[in-house]
Amino acid sequence: MTTLPMTPAPFSLAVIQCPLGSARDENVARVVAHIRDAAARGANVILPPELFETPYFPQHEREDHFALARPRSGHPLLAELSALARELEVVIPVSFFERAGQAFYNSVVVIDADGSERGLYRKAHIPDGPGYEEKYYFRPGDTGFQVFATRYAKLGVGICWDQWFPECARAMTLLGADLLLYPTAIGSEPEEPDLDTRDPWRRVMIGHAVANAIPVAAANRIGVEDAITFYGTSFIADHRGDLLADQKGEEGVALATIDPGASATYRAGFGFFRDRRPGLYGALLTADGSRPVLKLDRAELDRAELDRALQPPENNS
């Protein structure tokens, strides 16, 4: 297949799946061992699960868990994995619990193959439900969706609940991502034991792959933590949504070759982005399909715009 010029060469992607316990150092050592294994098997980009330093603490609302958060600057995990990425010449998106002043975020820093930090993404969509009490801990992210230029590819990175939102995947693809990555912590529903989200969880991301003609991968944890059984099934799918790697319920590393040039050529030919009609998508900028969402922090929102936005909707009955 002829590929578009100026696209990255094919590279190897790995996703890590493992159980995570109560001891922070043991968790990090386990993930580091899997990163080394993946690199030894030829991986260039390696994705660990979400918040892998600790058990999934948002199962419960506890004040003492805020002590787990640390600022990005001087964070020991970022320093350790920066040195590891530089040693192995691999790219690692690192999920961590971030404190920024009086705010707390569920964040990812992408570390490039030379050990440098390519940037920060803060989780945009924050879930709130039994066993997944993230709104107690995390503010909604303020970075916007990000794409990170690394040695091997441009990475779009969302975090867990982000993976259910097509707007997130579309935005990252529009921003130039070569593939979409989702570090994850998801499993059973403590108050609905008969609700199994495993297959829908995977299907929605495969839908993003198909609709955006872009490879998608997710790295989940496994094992029982308190009331949740994390179901793993970490995977890598290509730009058609076909599975390239499936870790199922086992600990380990799943690898696949990603060809950004082939994806870009397929995407251009399929016409999804050619035929988009952004001018018709105004409803997506509203909360209820009718009223605009106010962005009062924008200096360009003048008084007239604000007055119009605050007018009650017309009664068409």
Please give the share of the chain, as a percent, with pLDDT higher than 70. 91
Q: Where are the alpha helices (DSSP H) in 154-311?
A: 166-174, 198-212, 260-270, 303-310
Please give the share of the chain, as a percent, with pLDDT higher than 90. 87
**What angle do helix axes 24-40 and 76-88 make, rounded to 10 degrees?**
20
Q: Which CATH architecture has domain 11-270?
A: 4-Layer Sandwich (3.60)
Check residue 106 and give its pLDDT: 98
Check residue 297 and give its pLDDT: 47
Mean pLDDT estimate for the chain: 93
Q: Write the single-letter amino acid at 32.
A: V
pLDDT digits (tens, 9 = 90+) for 159-198: 999 999 999 999 999 999 999 999 999 999 999 999 999 9
Instruction: Clarify whether 168 is annotated catalytic.
Output: no
- DSSP-derived secondary structure for 59-123: GS--GGGGGG-B-STT-HHHHHHHHHHHHHT-BEEEEEEEEETTEEEEEEEEEPTTS-EEEEEE-
Element (H, E) at 32: helix 24-40
**Conformational region of residue 101, where left means phi above 0, alpha means psi within -120 to 50, and beta covers everything else:** left
Catalytic residue, chosen from 18, 53, 98, 123, is: 123
Whether the Cβ atoms of residue 219 and residue 230 lie closer than 8 Å to each other: no
DSSP-derived letter for residue 19 is B
List the 216-219 sheet strands across, edge first. Answer: 147-149, 154-157, 179-183, 216-219, 235-237, 243-246
Flag whether pLDDT at 116 surpasses 50.
Answer: yes
Q: Give the dihedral of Cα atoms 139, 117, 167, 237; nearest 10 deg.
A: -120
Pick from 37-46, 50-59, 280-289: least confident: 280-289
Instruction: Clarify whether 18 is annotated catalytic.
Output: no
Check residue 6 and give its pLDDT: 75
Q: How confident is the model at residue 317 (pLDDT cuts 50, 70, 90)?
A: very low
Q: How confident is the model at residue 1 (pLDDT cuts 50, 70, 90)?
A: low
Q: Where are the domains of the chain?
A: 11-270, 282-310
Check residue 74 and give its pLDDT: 97
Check residue 316 and give its pLDDT: 52
Catalytic residue, chosen from 98, 160, 168, 189, is: 160
Give the SS3 label for residue 38: helix
CA 85 to CA 64: how far, in whole Å?
Answer: 32
Task: Please state whether the predicted TM-score (pTM) of the whole model is above 0.85.
Answer: yes
